[in-house]
Amino acid sequence: MPGLKTAWKEYLEESMLPHMWCPGCGNGIALGALTRALAELKLPRHKVVVVTGIGCWGKADDYLSTNALHGTHGRALAFATGVKAARPELTVVVLMGDGDGATIGGNHLIHAARRNIDLTAVVVNNYNYGMTGGQVSATTPAGAITSTTRYGNPERDFDLCRLVEAAGANYVARGTVYHVPQLDRLIRDGIAKKGFSFIEVVSPCPTHFGRRNRLGPAVQMMKLLKERAVHVGSAAAKGGELPEGSFFIGKLAERDDPDFNTSYEKMRKKALAKGTESS
Amino acid sequence: MNEPANGSKIKDKNESTVGRGSKETRRLFLQGNEAIAEGAVAAGARFYAGYPITPSSEIAEVCSEKLLEAGGVYIQMEDELGSIAAVIGASLTGVKAFTATSGPGFSLMQENLGVAILGEVPCVVVNVQRSGPSTGLATRPAQADVMQARWGRHGDQHLIVLSPATVQECFELTVTAFNLAERFRVPVVLLADEIVAHMRENVALPDPAQIKIVNRKKPTCPPEEYLPFKPDPDGVPPLADFGSAYVFHVTSSMHGERGYSQNDPANAQAKIRRLFTKLENHLDEILLVKHHYNREEELDLLIVAFGCTVRPARAAALRAFGRKVGVLQLITLWPFPDALVAQAAARARALLVPELNMGQVGREVERVVGKAKPVFGLPKSNGEGFTPGEISARIEEVFACLG
């Protein structure tokens, strides 16, 4: 696509660089994918609101030149719901980590999906709470070592994509920061899709999760993403059971149910007709 | 200014100049909660996000109808944390937004109310107080969230809290709450209580054209020069709308004038200080009280009351034969009207503070005038309102004590 090579920079707030993320963290790649998706959709900066929560990925708004609302831990989707319900014409992208978006904020996640409100949630899943020192989250695999599960995680993890699909989202996808061109596409398609879109981005946290679980340095963790990701629709995916530790990537679910604002507008039209009659 | 003037003019019910047959004025028999919803619509609110809780739910129910009919949005969120978050998000798009709740829900909103304070997002939160702590005597009356409204969040911050005593004031002070929120880019808490919220009275809803409406200051500079947290000389920065030509950031992190996060200590100190001074420098626009007595007279006793306690206090004052007893009604609870209380106290021998809590406002009155005048309390926290008789009995005790 001509021009795209530089257009993404328009969405980046370069004066705030260098970013605060650790060497080997996948957040920079996810940020790049987001800016490329915005550029490809040619969305004017002033019509985009990026809403973030608290956590490493939740700091991403500091590096963006769009409108932004950085709220509280777990509540980003609720802030974003207010923006979108009040101004349906805006493009609202919500950036959260697995702790923020799926653990403390799990209730807002299922309700945003149930409402099918036209938001795009980009959840970077690094399997632990990076910012606070690598504690266990709702996506930490059973048995994994974190700073608060020294003998292994006794709890099971969420499959976020299946959760969000079951809750009613119109678009559900998973990518990784290794599979970058695909990630660009998934985020782009999620933003373009009407209704609630959910993109899980599997990403390494070499500082905490990788170190504690002896997954090797950042490069080794990237290789793991390559090895463990199974493209949905591939021959391997059709073969049946996934090997232990592997996961599907690609578009996992899509439907065309009416989004919140469209359904809301129908009710409001009825109310407006009554409001006009009585005045 | 110490008589309410911001928003629609507040008068005693029997002072009202509005004629019964006036074409412009609608006279309705309303519940306090319904009057709050009417006041919000009249103030220009077009967004409500909330979660049901007694004794505030009627506000949500009325809004679910009236806001839609006015072309606005009503959304029932999954909890109170989400409700106030959605209100903040909506307000940043330029819509006047609010929520209503009661004690437990108000507790859940505190963290995000901090976002609205630091992010300087205008919004209104109605807290119809009920008995606590915790589920308490659900859903009996109380006035025990005075301190929570002021200090319920972590960190240094300031906000405005107003308290209505009649159904008419429920309407009028809701308008005032929105006006002050817009004027100062600050959340305003309307601290009602179960008695006022569920009481029904005749109210006069003025012609909308006669109601003073304040809208937030918008930027006028070129978009590329806009700094969302650069204050004007009055301490209040203009606020653009998300989606307009002005692109901007709002963050719960400490931030500089651009709205991007910033850790510089000098900047942080200046910002926190301004959150206080932008209100403290404009107390003449914020502080509202009502003197239910002749202010020229010397009083034997000044009763300081707010909310549902004003009415029994006034009845008790009328029964104090042979003694001059007056009621000072506090409408603005925060910032606390120090000077107005001190001024009134100067002409009284002693003060009495009846309240449906263990002494939250009494403590403030004591702080302001305790060194100069004896301050007596009448705390009550059993889930029931005051009767005039109870206050009368305490007045007798006070006079016996004073000799």
Q: Are residues B59 and B149 in the same domain?
A: yes
Q: What is the pLDDT of residue A30?
A: 98
CATH number of domain containing B317? 3.40.50.920
Q: What is the pLDDT of residues B327-351, one digit of tens each?
A: 999 999 999 999 999 999 999 999 9
- Residues of B within 8 A of A271 (CB-CB) are 65, 68-69
Q: What is the pLDDT of residues B46-90, one digit of tens each?
A: 999 999 999 999 999 999 999 999 999 999 999 999 999 999 999
Average pLDDT over residues A155-167: 98
Give the burial string for A63-83 (b: 16+ CB within 10 Å, else e). bbbbbbbbbbbbbbbbbbbbb
* Residue of A87, A264, A275 with shortest CB distance to B242: A87
* Residue of B86, B247, B260 with shortest CB distance to A85: B86
**Mutate: best of A17, A48, A83, A272, partner B, most B CBs <10 A:** A83
**Surface of A (44-63) touching B: CB under 8 A:** 45-47, 49, 51, 54, 59, 61-62
- Residues of A within 8 A of B246 (CB-CB) are 46
Q: What is the pLDDT of residues A99-149, one digit of tens each?
A: 999 999 999 999 999 999 999 999 999 999 999 999 999 999 999 999 999
Our CA-based measurement puts residue A263 at a distance from the nearest CA of chain B, in whole angstroms, of 12
Cβ-Cβ contacts under 8 Å between A and B: the total is: 143
Strands A247-254 and A171-176: antiparallel
Q: Given CB atoms, is A241 within the 8 Å cutoff of chain B? A: no
CA of A107: which chain B residue's CA is closest?
B78
Q: What is the pLDDT of residue B9?
A: 44
Q: Are residues B238 and B150 in the same domain?
A: yes
Q: Helix B57-69 vs helix B32-43: angle between axes, to the nearest 10 degrees?
A: 30
Q: Are residues B295 and B248 in the same domain?
A: no
- Residues of A within 8 A of B75 (CB-CB) are 81-82, 85
Band (B23; pLDDT cuts 50, 70, 90): low
CA of B92: which chain A residue's CA is closest?
A83
Average pLDDT over residues B208-222: 97
Instruction: Say whether B243 and A51 touch across the interface (CB within 8 A).
Output: no
CATH number of domain containing B111? 3.40.50.970
Instruction: Say whether B89 and A46 touch across the interface (CB within 8 A).
Output: no
Q: Which residues contact B84 (CB under 8 A, 6 or more apart)?
A: B49, B99, B109, B112, B113, B116, B123, B125
Q: What is the pLDDT of residue A240?
A: 73
Of the residues B286, B306, B329, the one at which a domain ends:
B286
Band (A276; pLDDT cuts 50, 70, 90): confident
Q: What is the pTM of this model?
A: 0.95
Our CA-based measurement puts residue B41 at a distance from the nearest CA of chain A, in whole angstroms, of 13
Band (B304; pLDDT cuts 50, 70, 90): very high
Question: Per-residue pLDDT for B14 more than 70?
Answer: no
Q: Are residues B334 and B200 in the same domain?
A: no
Q: Are residues B118 and B130 in the same domain?
A: yes
Residue identified by tokens 């008995």 is B131
CA of B244: which chain A residue's CA is closest?
A46
- Residues of B within 8 A of A89 (CB-CB) are 243
Band (B403; pLDDT cuts 50, 70, 90): confident
Q: Are residues B378 and B398 in the same domain?
A: yes
Residues of B with CB under 8 A from a CB of A: 47, 49, 65, 68-71, 73, 75, 77-79, 81-83, 85-93, 95, 97, 111-112, 115, 223, 242-253, 259-261
Our CA-based measurement puts residue B204 at a distance from the nearest CA of chain A, in whole angstroms, of 18
Q: What is the pLDDT of residues B241-291, one digit of tens each?
A: 999 999 999 999 999 999 999 999 999 999 999 999 999 999 999 999 999
Q: Residue B207's domain spans which residues?
A: 1-286
Of the residues B251, B286, B321, the one at which a domain ends:
B286
Q: Are residues B53 and B27 in the same domain?
A: yes
Instruction: Say whether B90 and A82 touch across the interface (CB within 8 A).
Output: yes
Q: Are residues B159 and B280 in the same domain?
A: yes
Of the residues B226, B251, B286, the one at which a domain ends:
B286
Q: Given CB atoms, is A4 within the 8 Å cutoff of chain B? A: no
CATH number of domain containing A143? 3.40.50.970
ipTM of the complex in this document: 0.96
- Residues of A within 8 A of B49 (CB-CB) are 81-82, 85
Give me the torsion for CA of B195, B197, B198, B201, rounded to 10°: 100
Q: Which string of DSSP letters, residue by residue, matches A111-164?
A: HHHHHT-S-EEEEEE-SSBTTTTSB--TTSPTT--BTTBTT---SPPP-HHHHH
Q: Are residues B281 and B312 in the same domain?
A: no
Band (A4; pLDDT cuts 50, 70, 90): low
Residue identified by tokens 């609110």 is B45
Q: Residue A28's domain spans which residues?
A: 4-278
Give the burial string for A228-267 (b: 16+ CB within 10 Å, else e). bbbebeeeeeeeeeeeeeebbbbbbbbeeeebbbeebeee
Q: Are residues B201 and B313 in the same domain?
A: no
Instruction: Say whether B90 and A85 touch across the interface (CB within 8 A).
Output: yes
User: What total of structural domains would you count in chain A?
Assistant: 1
Band (B203; pLDDT cuts 50, 70, 90): very high
Q: Are residues B269 and B331 in the same domain?
A: no
**Surface of A (88-127) touching B: CB under 8 A:** 89-90, 107-108, 111
Average pLDDT over residues B379-403: 97
Q: What is the pLDDT of residues A81-105, one digit of tens each?
A: 999 999 999 999 999 999 999 999 9
What integer best gives the mean pLDDT of chain B?
A: 94
User: What total of structural domains would you count in chain B?
Assistant: 2
Q: Are residues B213 and B130 in the same domain?
A: yes
- Residues of A within 8 A of B83 (CB-CB) are 78
- Residues of A within 8 A of B251 (CB-CB) are 61, 68-70
